[in-house]
Amino acid sequence: MWRFLSQIVGAILIALPSIAVAEPAQLERRGEAVQLIVDGRPFLIRGGELANSSASHRPFLAPAWERMKAMRLNTVLAPVSWELIEPEEGRFDFSTVDWLIEDARAHDMRLVLLWFGTWKNSMSTYVPAWVKRDPARFPRTLDDEGQSQEILSAHSAETREADARAFAAMMRHLKIVDEDHGTVIMVQVENEIGFLPLAKEGTQTGDRAEDERQQARLYARFANAVAAAGKAEYRLPMFVNGAQRRAGAEPGEYPSGGPLAHLTREWREEAPNIDFIAPDIYFNNFAEITDAYVASGNPLFIPEANRASDPRVGANALRAIGRNEAMGFSPFSIDTASVEDAARIASLYGMLEQLEPLILDAQADGRIAGFSNQVNFAGEVDLASIEASFEGFTFTATTIDPWTPRDAQDLSTHGALLIRLGDEDFIVAGQGVTFTVADEKGAGQVGLEAVEEGYFQAGRWTATRRLNGDQTHQGRHVRLPPGDYTIQKMRLYRY
Ligand code: DGJ
């Protein structure tokens, strides 16, 4: 009997090394980019965030998984709310987390969990009833007229510790159920933290910018304590997301002290356990906002890139990935996308899926560029051509299609990626963008040796059309037609 048992134990021990155990996802600097490493490999999030109430009941979300799969998503951003996981203090119910993980795995998708804890869009409506009903223990903030509001105070150690305990319990549970699978790849701590309707809690100094910085430090210390408690249980990358500042608005008119680009320093100094701050972008000036987050030293991830119905979703994604080395992109309310919007996203994400390994390597090596026309806060579109230089060559891109009448073009959809594959080899991918190429130093002429349209499958290029004649304007340009996403491969030469 003992001999038999020890043989079985021995066999299990021998088999163990061959059982694949996923490593938890982590952020890693690779050359010029900070990337998300999943299962030991760089990963590009083709994401979508669920509408706020879609993940409270499993049957409600059930029909959406196939639709999200068909949109070629590889990651779903899903809320987990404090009120549902800790209905009574100290009694946890992780069923939401468990079924989200099961359903994501069944559809071969990853999850980014959004911790709707003390704050969700500034407010405190996702806290459990035992928190809501005990203002003496969990103090509330006051508005400009001294009225108590549904926003818990960030000064309260009691609130911070209760939130951190719940979050830590969730991370402990995640470690048990998911460490070997790595379905959950990142966690967002709270949601759109920011104070209203004043620049900070309590007495105002009169200097709104200074008040906002103080409130940012207060929030950052709170979020850091929550993140630290969670990471002590299970170490996954963690970020916070910020509601953006409306042009001309003052702190308090927009959620004050949140994780905004201009407060990166306060957040970084006070919250070392938060890996980066991220923008939620519902305003027109997408490029200005993403550029500001990157310029202040954040790796870029856009957890809410407007709604799936925004026609600019594709152009914004390609610019962020190509120009700002974004690790991912995620329109909001993905589960409610219309058939038409879903088809647009499927086409975009299908193309990104083909290009994923090329994109990730090119981001690390600085061999990638992204193009879209830029829009300011007021919605005015800048249609100036855009240049991108690589050693030896300068590309000039225009997002106005030369062969389509202007009034028949939806310029908001026009955007592209450009990736260098070798000395003279490049690919372009997108729609509605036309490129010309010149010698970087203005010496000599550059021509198109050959241009192909095609697709990548398992990293291998298959050409479906040789482009020449009218399709390259007799060798003068490379054109991604408007209307849908295509990929073209070109070889340049000099004459
Ligand atoms: C931003 C928030 O983060 C989301 O949860 C959601 O409320 C959207 N705004 C608006 O629908």
| Segment (H or E) for 170 | helix 157-178
**Reported confidence tier of residue 32, pLDDT bands at 50, 70, 90:** very high
Predicted local confidence at residue 22, as pLDDT: 74
Predicted local confidence at residue 23, as pLDDT: 85
Chain mean pLDDT for the chain: 95
Predicted local confidence at residue 152, as pLDDT: 98
Residues 6+ apart with CB under 8 A from 397: 371, 385, 386, 387, 388, 416, 418, 433, 434, 435
**Reported confidence tier of residue 479, pLDDT bands at 50, 70, 90:** very high
Q: Is the pLDDT of residue 13 over 60?
A: no
Q: How many whole angstroms from 462 Cα to the centroid of ligand 1?
A: 41
CA 260 to chain centre: 15
**Reported confidence tier of residue 19, pLDDT bands at 50, 70, 90:** very low
Condensed to tens digits (0 to 9), the pLDDT of residues 349-359 reads 999 999 999 99
Among protein residues, the one with the nearest Cα to ligand 1's atom 5 is 52
Mean pLDDT of 367-382: 96
CA 68 to chain centre: 16
Q: Is the pLDDT of residue 279 over 60?
A: yes
Q: Is 494 helix (H, G, I), strand (E, B) or coil?
A: strand
In short, whether 96's Cβ falls inside 6 Å of ligand 1 is no
d(CA 160, CA 229): 11
Predicted local confidence at residue 495, as pLDDT: 95
Predicted local confidence at residue 21, as pLDDT: 61
Q: Is the pLDDT of residue 1 over 90?
A: no
- Which of these, 215, 18, 236, lies nearest to 119 by C-alpha position? 215
Condensed to tens digits (0 to 9), the pLDDT of residues 152-181 reads 999 999 999 999 999 999 999 999 999 999
Condensed to tens digits (0 to 9), the pLDDT of residues 211-256 reads 999 999 999 999 999 999 999 999 999 999 999 999 999 999 999 9
Taken in order 229, 105, 280, 201, is the CA torsion positive or negative?
A: negative
Furthest CA-CA distance within the chain: 84
Q: Is the pLDDT of residue 14 over 70?
A: no
Q: How many whole angstroms from 121 Cα to the centroid of ligand 1?
A: 7
d(CA 60, CA 97): 15
Percent of the chain predicted with pLDDT > 90: 95
In short, whether 54's Cβ falls inside 6 Å of ligand 1 is no
d(CA 59, CA 41): 33
In short, whether 52's Cβ falls inside 6 Å of ligand 1 is yes
Q: Is the pLDDT of residue 394 over 90?
A: yes
In short, whether 330's Cβ falls inside 6 Å of ligand 1 is no
- Joined together, the tokens standing for residue 162 give 């209760």
Condensed to tens digits (0 to 9), the pLDDT of residues 181-201 reads 999 999 999 999 999 999 999
Q: How many whole angstroms from 117 Cα to the centroid of ligand 1?
A: 14
**Alpha-carbon separation of residue 201 from 71, 135, 152, 241 (angstroms):** 43, 16, 10, 20
Among protein residues, the one with the nearest Cα to ligand 1's atom 2 is 121
- Judge if pTM exceeds 0.85: yes
Q: What are the contacts of 129-132 at 24+ separation with CB within 8 A?
A: 129/83, 129/87, 130/88, 130/89, 131/82, 131/159, 131/162
**Reported confidence tier of residue 6, pLDDT bands at 50, 70, 90:** very low
Residues 6+ apart with CB under 8 A from 404: 482
Q: Is the pLDDT of residue 474 over 60?
A: yes
Q: How many whole angstroms from 86 Cα to the centroid of ligand 1?
A: 23
Mean pLDDT of 125-146: 98
Q: How many whole angstroms from 249 Cα to the centroid of ligand 1?
A: 19
Predicted local confidence at residue 216, as pLDDT: 98
